[in-house]
Structure 1
Amino acid sequence: MTYRRALIPAAVGGALLALLTLWAGASASALRLQGTGNVFDIESATALRTLLSPWSYSGVSGGALYADLYRTAMQIRFVTLFLFFVAGALLLLRRLPPVQGSTPATLLALWAWAPVAATLAVTVSAPWLIASRGHGSFRVLPQVASVIASGGPVAVVAGLLTAPVMVVLARVMNVDPEPLPRRDVPPLAARLAASAGTAVVALSLVVLSYQSVAAWIQTSFPGEGLLSEPGDLLREWLLLGAWSGPSTAPLGDWLLYRVADVVMLAVVWWALRLLPGLLTEATAPAMAAGAVCATVLGLLASQLLHWATDDTTTVRGPVSLVAGLGGGVPAALTFGAVAGIAAVVTLRLAGRRDTADAAG
C-alpha cells in the first residue's frame, strides 16, 4: 500500500482519535452536574474525572495568563496527538496493509499505536501544562512524570474505536486487497530475532522493574536545580512493571501476577516472531514501530489479566478496568523501539549466516 493511499485512512484515524479524546475531555465537566450520582457512585465519578481531565479544556483555575497557558497546552496536545498518530499509522499501513491474512495484525497494531501517540502528545505539551499551574519551577521532573502517566487510559479506549474505522477505509483504498505473498523468513532466524527483541523487553520487565533495582533508579540520580529528582521520570520511561519476592504477598497472588508477566512476554515474542513475515519489507523503522505495538499489546494483555483476577473488581466496578489500562506505555515505547532494532539486526545477521551456509 503506497503512502498516498495510506494517507486518507491515517488522517481520518488521527482526526477521529483527536475528536474522541476531545469529547472525552469535555465529558469531565458533565460529571460535576447534579444528578451524576444517579448514574455513578462518588468513587466512580471521581475516578472518571481523573481519567478524563488530561484531555479536558476546563482543568485550570486562576488568572487569564494561566488559563491561556492551559489552553495553549491543550491545543499543542491535540495537534501533536493527531500528528504522531498519523505518522505512525502511515508507516504501519504502508508496511502492514490490511489485506487478507494480515487484517487482524493491522487492527491490533493501529489500536496499540493510539496510546503511544497519546504518550508522545502529553510529553510534548507537558511544559505548558505545568507552567499553567503557577508553580512550574517546583519539582519539574516529577511533575513531568505525573503528566506523562496521565494520558493512557482514554487513548486506549479511543484507539479501540478508531482502529476498525481505519482498517475499513484502508481496505477500500487498497487497490489490491488480495493477500500479499508471504516473505520467505527462515524459521530459525525469525525465532532468534523474536528472542532477541523479547530479551530487551524482559530487561525492563524482569530486571529493572524488580523492587530493589527500581528503588536504586529512583534514588541514585539526584540531579540539580530544575533537573532535580529525576527518579519518577526515569521510572516512567524505563520500567514496564513492578515486582518483588513472594514474601511480600500470598504465594498464590504472587504467582498469578507473575503469570501476567509471562503472558506479556509471550505476546511480545509471538508478535515479533510473526512480524517479519507480515511486513511487506522488514525495515528498521517498521520493525521498531511493530515492536512498540507488540509491547503495548503485551502490556494491555497483562493488565486485562490483572483486572480479571483482581478480587476488588466487583466492588470497584468497570471504571477500574479503564483506569488500569495504558500504564507503562512510555517504557513500552523505549524498550519496544530498542527491541525492534535488536530483532531486525538479529534477523539480518541470521539471514546472512543461512545464506552463507546454503552457498557453502
Structure 2
Amino acid sequence: MTFRRALVPGLLGGLLLAGLLWWAGASTRALGLPGAGQFFGPEGATQLRGWLAPWSYGPPSSAQYGSPVGAPGSGQAYAGLHRTGMQVRYVTLVVFYLCGAAPLVRRLAPGGAKRSASLLLALWGWGLVAGTLAVVVSAPWLVASGGHGGFRLLPRLSGEMAAGRQVLVVAALVASVGALVASAVVRRGGERPSSPGVPVRAARLAATLGTAVVAVSLVVLSYEKVAARIQTGFSGIGPFEELGDLLRQWLLLGGWSAPSSYYPFGTWLLHRLPDLLLLAVVWWGLRLLADRLDRVTVPAFAVGAVSVTVLGLLLSQLCATLLDAAQVGGSFVSYAGRFGEGVPAALVFGLLAGALSAVVARPRIGI
C-alpha cells in the first residue's frame, strides 16, 4: 500500500478516536446526577467521572474558574487556558494517531484474517499511546489553568499525565476497528501483501533482543530498591524539584520486590505471572512482526513494537486484576483503574526494542 493511501485510515481512525473521547468527556457532568449514583452506585459513578473528566472539554465546576482567591476577575483567563489545553489535547491526539497508524497500515495492509487481526491489535495498542502522548503534551496548559502553576510543578504534571487512560482502552479498540475497515476499503483489490522473508532464526534473535530491552524496565528498573532510588535520587532545582514521579512514569513498566516473611514465595511467584505474561507477549509479538510486515523498516517495526508492549501491558494488568479479585475480593471496577498504566514506559522501551529488532533483522534479508 502506498503511503498516501495509508494516511486515509490513519486520519479516519484518529478522528473517530477523538470523537469517541469527546462524547465520553461530554458525559462527565451527567454522572453527577442523582440517577447516575443510583445506577452505578456512588463509588462507581465517582470512579467513572474521574476516568472521563480528563476528556471533558468544559472546565471543571470550581470556584477557580469564577473568581479565584487572590485574583478577582481572572476566572475567564483560567477557563481560557483550560479550553486551549483541551484543544491542544484533541488536535495532537489526531496527529499522533495518524503518525503511528500510517506506517502500520502501510506495512500491515489487511490481506487475510491473520494480517487483519495483527493490524487491528497494532492499531489498538497505538491508540493508547496516541492518547497518552496527547495528554502529556497538553498537560502544561491544564496545570496552569488550575492556578499556582509553579507550585510542585512536576508532581502536578505527573498527576495530569496519568489521567484519562482507562477510557482510552475502549475508545482505541473501537477506533482501530474503524481504521481497519477503512484500510480494507482503500487497499487495491489486486494488491497482495508480500512477506519480508526474514529467516526463522533471525526473527527469533530479533524478538529475543527486543524482549531483553523491555525486560530492563520490567525486571531491573522496576525492582523495589531501584525504583526507590529513581524516585528519590533526582531532586531537581526550583520548580523542577521532585522529578521522581515523572521518571517512574517514563521508565517503569511495573513494580516488584523480593519474597519476605510477609510475602511468601508461593504468593510472590503467583504475582510474577503477569510479568512473565508481558514478556511472553512481547517476544511473540516481535516474532510475528518479522513475518507479518511486508517489509522490515525501522519506523514500522518500532511503532509495532510499541503496540505489542502496550498490549502485553494490558494483558498483564488484566491477569493481575483477576488475581487480586480472586484473592481479595471486590468488584472488577474497583481494580480496573490500573488499566493503561505504564504506557509512557512502554513507548520508550518499545521504541528501543523495535529499533534494535529491526536493525538485527534487516541485514539478514538484504534490505
Q: TM-score range by the shorter chain?
A: over 0.9
- State how 1:279-290 maps to structure 2 within 5 Å: 279-290=293-304
2:2 and 2:106 in contact (8 A); partners too: yes
1:3 corresponding residue in structure 2: 3
Correspondence for 2:104 among 74, 79, 92 = 92
Deviation at 1:233, TM superposition (A): 0.2
Q: Tell me how far 1:55 sits from its aligned partner.
A: 0.6
Matching residue of 2:315: 301
- Is 1:259 equivalent to 2:273 in the alignment? yes
Of residues 165-174 and 54-63 in structure 1, the stretch that sits farther from structure 2 once superposed is 54-63
Counterpart contact for 1:92–1:289, Cα < 8 Å: yes
Matched, 1:83 2:95: yes
Tell me the SS of whatever aligns to 2:146: coil
1:171–1:177 contact (8 Å) kept in structure 2 = no
Question: Does the 8 Å CA contact 1:313/1:320 hold for their aligned counterparts?
Answer: no
Q: What is the letter of the counterpart of residue 295 of structure 1?
A: T
CA deviations on 1:24-83 (whole Å, 9 max, x unpaired) are 111111110121222011111111111111111234332111111111111110111111
CA shift at 1:181, angstroms? 3.0
* 2:47 is the counterpart of 1:33: no
- Aligned position for 2:47: 47
Give the counterpart letter for 1:144 in structure 2.
L
Secondary structure at the counterpart of residue 171 of structure 1? helix
Question: Deviations 1:279-298 (Å, cap 9, x if unpaired)?
Answer: 12111111110110010011
Tell me how many residue pairs correspond in the alignment: 353
- Secondary structure of the corresponding residue to residue 217 of structure 1: helix
Aligned equivalents of 1:311 and 1:8: distance in 2?
42
Conserved 8 A contact 1:307-1:313 = no
* Alpha-carbon distance, 1:179 to partner: 4.8
Q: CA deviation at 1:318?
A: 3.9
Alignment gaps of 5+ in structure 1? 356-360
In the TM superposition, 1:69-218 aligns within 5 A as 69-100=81-112, 101-176=114-189, 179-218=192-231
Letter in 2 for 1:286: A
Q: Match of 1:72, SS?
A: helix
Q: Secondary structure at the match of 1:134?
A: coil
Equivalent of residue 305 in structure 2, options 267, 288, 291: 291
User: CA–CA distance in 2 between the matches of 1:202 and 1:176?
Assistant: 41
Per the alignment, residue 358 of structure 1 pairs with none
Q: Deviations over 1:161-191 (max 9, x none)?
A: 1111211121111113765232211111111
Deviation at 1:349, TM superposition (A): 5.0
Q: Which residue, out of 338, 356, 367, partners 1:324?
A: 338
Aligned to 1:56: 56
| Structure 2: gaps (5+ residues) | 65-74
Cα deviation, 1:297-322, whole Å, max 9, x if unaligned, reads 11011011112222269964342464
Separation in 2, partners of 1:308, 1:74 = 34
SS at 1:199 equivalent = helix
Q: How far apart are residue 273 of structure 1 and its match?
A: 0.9
RMSD: 1.8
Name the aligned partner's letter for residue 326 of structure 1.
G
1:83-123 deviations in Å (ceiling 9; x for gaps)? 11111111110111121131110000000011100111011
Asked if structure 1 preserves the Cα contact closer than 8 Å seen for 2:198 and 2:364, the reply is no
Residues 84 and 117 in structure 1, CA contact (< 8 A), matched pair in contact too = yes
TM-score of the pair, normalised by structure 2: 0.92
In 1, are the aligned partners of 2:109 and 2:193 still within 8 Å (CA)?
A: no
CA contact (8 A) 1:48 1:319 kept: no
Aligned partner of 2:286 in structure 1 is: 272
The residue aligned with 1:343 is 357
State whether residues 59 and 83 of structure 2, in contact with CA within 8 Å, keep that contact through their aligned partners in structure 1: no
Task: Please give the secondary structure, in 2, of the residue aligned with 1:245.
Answer: coil
